[in-house]
Structure 1
Amino acid sequence: MKINHTPGLTGVNPYQKQLKKADAAKNASAAASDKLEISNAAKGMQDATRLLAERREKIALLKEQVAAGTYKTDARATAKAMLDFYGQQ
């Protein structure tokens, strides 16, 4: 038995809508590209790690001077710095 005419399916591809969606998704993903931005907070954290390394070096130097007995303090400068610090608060 041969069927020549089926109602509702003449010349229509039932998967055409799915193909259009797939093509649209491919085009959208091809147009979009990855982008990376570093926030100001992250940049600050990078600077903080650099400062931390510098502080460690300074502390190591001070420890060596104290151990060798060559570390000299300036009592007037220390007192002035403390007064300035606590005077700001």
Structure 2
Amino acid sequence: MKINGPNHSNFNPYKKHMTQQPDVQRKMQSQRDKVEISHQGKALQGSEQKNEARQKHVDEIKAAVENGKYQVDSSATAQKMIDFFSKKG
């Protein structure tokens, strides 16, 4: 039994897909990941230099912790936490 339907001359449903494949590969090769740092980001990177006053404050706290003289004000800490989280919500 032989079935001949209309328009059977070199019909290949995958031909279009096969011819597009090299185009897709070329497009993917031409697209590269790119990272851009904003002006604000660059400014923040430049601000990594240590501030002498800040370093002195940190050193004082370290010394107090090492000597056992550092006292934490739990009320002030709790209030700052409440203020911080109430602003976010």
TM (norm. structure 2) is 0.48
- Rg: which structure is higher? 1
TM-score by length of 1: 0.48
